[in-house]
Amino acid sequence: MDDLNLTTLQRGQTRVKGSTIEAFAAALRGRLITRDDADYDEARTIWNSMIDRRPAMIVRCAGAGDAVKAVRFARDNGLLLAIRGGGHNIAGNAICDGGVVIDLSAMRSVWVDPATRRMRVEPGATLADVDAETQAFGLVLPTGINSTTGIAGLTLGGGFGWTTRKFGLTLDNLISVDVVTAAGELKRVSEKEEPELFWALRGGGGNFGVVTSFEFRLHDLPGEVLAGLVVHPFADAEMVLRQYRQQLETAPDELTCWAVMRKAPPLPFLPAEWHGKEVLVLAMCYCGNLQAGETATAGLRSIGKPIADVVGPAPFAAWQQAFDPLLTPGARNYWKSQDFARLSDPAISVLLDAVRKLPGPECEIFIGHVGGAAGRIGHEATAFPQRSSHFVMNVHARWREKGMDQTCIGWAKGLFEATRPHAIGTAYINFMPEDEADRVEAAYGMNYRRLAEIKRRYDPQNLFRMNQNVKPLAEMRAAS
């Protein structure tokens, strides 16, 4: 193999001998992919097609041993390092230019122990992989809402979805992890083993190592939930959102309802005259007794005069995949997110004005309600800081043509700025794009300094920096 020029941590260049690379590749149980390989372009492609980066080396890991070797190789040579799980993160941090990618996507095993209601998952598994195994035993792990999302990034950043109000965030159900640290050591980490590192991993993103295995506690959930969509004309959106807000004040933990505003896709249950027109959709899921669910959802379903109400019993795993067709790979995506303590009338007014200016048919505004069990955990119990019952706004700009970049990104940024006066300052790091490095400290709030101290202990050189980066404490002091 020829010598390679690789990108360093400081974004300079260093030359690594071909013989050194060959020896590294020969020691792997998986394989090393470089620009000369036929599947290189496929291996560097991730969900967000705006991200077009060309790493020098992609280490397709077959197990934890490969991850250890890859971390040591990158550390010893001072190389820029990215970690890929599902490759779904909006910021595109799974891929770097000119450096090394630790690709965990082939490690997708899921083991469920129904007797103890525990599960062990490898980092390349998707939410669909998790749901397929857990639901076979009438069990569930609270995760997100798109089945192609990777379990690793979701968990390390938080993880909220249809069952979070009942069972907590994904990271709240984490029992232990196996993680490769910047020192190239594989550690078992839990509440009892390396507790500070375990605290940081629950919400600190990819800042602290390469997780090669997750252990979760599971919960009972029957095969069916009461779930579906209620679609309203956009003309009624202000009234619907106000009543939606009121209904959620007394919602039981089993009930989750989110609002989505967008142009209506050609769904089969919508009359054709509504296709392509602005609508407000209430998406709801009740994860409990179906009869009790009918009672719990009645208030939400009685709001206004909807175009369609398709709420009914559904297999939970199928409901988890309901939004997949709207989130397929290959589109250009840019997100902006805010947390609201309440969905105030002024905030609603700003949101509605933005919907009237949607730049494309796939752009949308999503409002998720988080609370219940997730809100009854202390703000300092994990690195994830925002535990009060709150609303998460995700401005999801999505389009196909590169020529639309400025228009769509500008729309998302404009709405973000307009909602700033109504927001509380924290943010869900899994929704943050790559240009929000200046927002990371505020996103973690009171937990940031503790994270920075743990980063100093476990990764003082900031090897793991392709993420919503927490800088080591010493680096923070130097910067100040």
- Please report the domains of the chain, with CATH numbers, ordered by start residue: 4-103 (3.30.43.10), 110-220 (3.30.465.10), 224-437 (3.40.462.20), 445-479 (no CATH)
Q: Which residues lie closer than 8 Å to 223 by C-beta, 6 or more apart?
A: 135, 138, 315, 316
What is the per-residue pLDDT across 107-139, written as a single tens digit (0 to 9) for each? 999 999 999 999 999 999 999 999 999 999 999
What is the per-residue pLDDT across 411-444, written as a single tens digit (0 to 9) for each? 999 999 999 999 999 999 999 999 999 999 999 9
Q: State pTM to two decimals.
A: 0.96
* Helical residues (DSSP H) of 344-459, grouped into ranges: 345-355, 405-419, 440-444, 448-458
Burial class (CB in 10 A: 0-12, 13-18, 19+), 19: exposed
What is the per-residue pLDDT across 166-190, written as a single tens digit (0 to 9) for each? 999 999 999 999 999 999 999 999 9
Q: What integer is the mean pLDDT of 236-260?
A: 97
Q: Which of these ranges, 23-27, 52-56, 170-174, 387-391, has the smallest mean pLDDT? A: 387-391
**3-state class (DSSP) for residue 118:** strand
- CA dist 88 and 108 (Å) reads 15
Pairing of β 139-140 and β 4-7: unpaired
How many other C-beta atoms lie within 10 A of the C-beta of residue 315? 15
What is the per-residue pLDDT across 387-417, written as a single tens digit (0 to 9) for each? 998 999 999 999 999 999 999 999 999 999 9
pLDDT band at 34 (very low <50, low <70, confident <90, very high): very high
φ, ψ at 401 (rounded to 5°): -95, 135
Pairing of β 100-103 and β 57-60: parallel
**What value does the CA radius of gyration of the chain take, rounded to a whole number of Å?**
22
CB of 124 within 8 A of CB of 108? yes
Is the pLDDT at 477 greater than 90? The verdict is no
How many other C-beta atoms lie within 10 A of the C-beta of residue 125? 23
- CA atoms within 13 Å, Cβ hemisphere of 46: 29
Instruction: Give percent above pLDDT 70 in the chain.
Output: 99
pLDDT for 104: 98
- CA atoms within 13 Å, Cβ hemisphere of 73: 28
* Helical residues (DSSP H) of 78-162, grouped into ranges: 127-135, 151-157
pLDDT band at 478 (very low <50, low <70, confident <90, very high): low
The rounded mean pLDDT for the chain is 96
Give the CA-trace dihedral at 145, 151, 155, 160, to 10 degrees. 10
Q: What integer is the mean pLDDT of 370-379?
A: 95
Structure tokens at 4: 């390679």
